[in-house]
Amino acid sequence: MNDKIKINLQMAGASYPLTINREEEEIVRSAAKQVDIRLNAYREHYQNVPQERIIAMVAYQFSLENLKLKERNDTAPYTDKIKELTEELEAHFRKDESYGR
Protein backbone atom coordinates (compact mmCIF):
# COMPACT_ATOMS: atom_id res chain seq x y z
CA MET A 1 0.00 0.00 0.00
CA ASN A 2 1.30 3.42 -0.95
CA ASP A 3 1.31 5.79 2.03
CA LYS A 4 1.77 8.87 -0.21
CA ILE A 5 -1.16 10.92 -1.45
CA LYS A 6 -1.50 13.82 -3.86
CA ILE A 7 -3.38 16.87 -2.68
CA ASN A 8 -4.05 20.37 -3.95
CA LEU A 9 -3.24 22.66 -1.08
CA GLN A 10 -5.08 25.98 -1.13
CA MET A 11 -3.03 28.75 0.43
CA ALA A 12 -2.68 32.50 -0.08
CA GLY A 13 -5.14 32.45 -2.95
CA ALA A 14 -3.25 29.83 -4.94
CA SER A 15 -3.32 26.07 -5.37
CA TYR A 16 -0.20 24.01 -4.70
CA PRO A 17 -0.12 20.39 -5.87
CA LEU A 18 1.77 18.33 -3.28
CA THR A 19 2.61 14.70 -2.68
CA ILE A 20 2.69 14.04 1.05
CA ASN A 21 2.56 11.20 3.52
CA ARG A 22 -1.04 10.24 4.17
CA GLU A 23 -0.63 10.66 7.94
CA GLU A 24 0.58 14.26 7.47
CA GLU A 25 -2.44 15.51 5.54
CA GLU A 26 -4.19 17.03 8.53
CA ILE A 27 -1.14 18.93 9.77
CA VAL A 28 -0.22 20.09 6.23
CA ARG A 29 -3.70 21.49 5.70
CA SER A 30 -3.68 23.03 9.16
CA ALA A 31 -0.36 24.77 8.42
CA ALA A 32 -1.80 26.24 5.21
CA LYS A 33 -4.84 27.42 7.14
CA GLN A 34 -2.58 29.15 9.68
CA VAL A 35 -0.77 30.92 6.85
CA ASP A 36 -4.08 32.12 5.42
CA ILE A 37 -5.28 33.31 8.82
CA ARG A 38 -2.14 35.37 9.36
CA LEU A 39 -2.10 36.68 5.81
CA ASN A 40 -5.69 37.85 6.14
CA ALA A 41 -4.98 39.51 9.48
CA TYR A 42 -1.99 41.38 8.04
CA ARG A 43 -3.93 42.32 4.90
CA GLU A 44 -6.69 43.77 7.04
CA HIS A 45 -4.30 45.68 9.28
CA TYR A 46 -1.89 46.84 6.54
CA GLN A 47 -4.21 47.53 3.63
CA ASN A 48 -1.75 49.73 1.71
CA VAL A 49 1.23 47.37 2.00
CA PRO A 50 2.14 45.31 -1.10
CA GLN A 51 1.35 41.58 -1.01
CA GLU A 52 5.05 40.60 -1.17
CA ARG A 53 5.82 42.56 1.99
CA ILE A 54 2.84 41.06 3.81
CA ILE A 55 4.01 37.56 2.87
CA ALA A 56 7.51 38.43 4.13
CA MET A 57 6.07 39.67 7.43
CA VAL A 58 4.08 36.46 7.88
CA ALA A 59 7.15 34.34 7.07
CA TYR A 60 9.17 36.36 9.58
CA GLN A 61 6.53 35.87 12.27
CA PHE A 62 6.45 32.10 11.75
CA SER A 63 10.25 31.93 11.70
CA LEU A 64 10.56 33.92 14.91
CA GLU A 65 8.04 31.68 16.67
CA ASN A 66 9.88 28.59 15.41
CA LEU A 67 13.23 29.86 16.71
CA LYS A 68 11.73 30.74 20.09
CA LEU A 69 10.29 27.24 20.38
CA LYS A 70 13.64 25.67 19.49
CA GLU A 71 15.36 27.86 22.07
CA ARG A 72 12.79 26.96 24.71
CA ASN A 73 13.25 23.24 24.00
CA ASP A 74 17.04 23.43 24.05
CA THR A 75 18.19 21.20 26.90
CA ALA A 76 21.93 21.76 26.34
CA PRO A 77 22.33 24.33 29.15
CA TYR A 78 20.70 21.92 31.61
CA THR A 79 22.74 18.98 30.39
CA ASP A 80 25.93 21.03 30.69
CA LYS A 81 25.06 22.09 34.24
CA ILE A 82 24.24 18.51 35.26
CA LYS A 83 27.57 17.36 33.82
CA GLU A 84 29.41 20.11 35.71
CA LEU A 85 27.69 19.23 39.01
CA THR A 86 28.33 15.53 38.47
CA GLU A 87 32.04 16.22 37.96
CA GLU A 88 32.15 18.29 41.15
CA LEU A 89 30.43 15.53 43.12
CA GLU A 90 32.76 12.88 41.73
CA ALA A 91 35.80 15.02 42.59
CA HIS A 92 34.45 15.52 46.11
CA PHE A 93 33.88 11.78 46.61
CA ARG A 94 37.35 10.97 45.27
CA LYS A 95 38.82 13.44 47.74
CA ASP A 96 36.82 11.86 50.61
CA GLU A 97 38.04 8.40 49.59
CA SER A 98 41.65 9.53 49.70
CA TYR A 99 41.20 10.83 53.29
CA GLY A 100 39.71 7.50 54.39
CA ARG A 101 42.82 5.54 53.50
Q: What is the secondary structure of 14-39 as a DSSP string? A: EEEEEEEEGGGHHHHHHHHHHHHHHH
CB 21 within 8 A of CB 6: no
**CA-wise closest residue to 58 among 4, 12, 10, 7:** 12
Show the domain range for 11. 4-100
d(CA 55, CA 41): 11
Structurally, the chain folds into a number of domains equal to: 1
Instruction: Identify the H or E element spanning 85.
Output: helix 76-100
Q: Please list the pLDDT of the chain residue by residue as tens digits (101 residues).
A: 579 999 999 999 999 999 999 999 999 999 999 999 999 999 999 999 999 999 999 999 999 999 988 888 777 777 888 888 888 888 888 777 776 65
pTM: 0.66
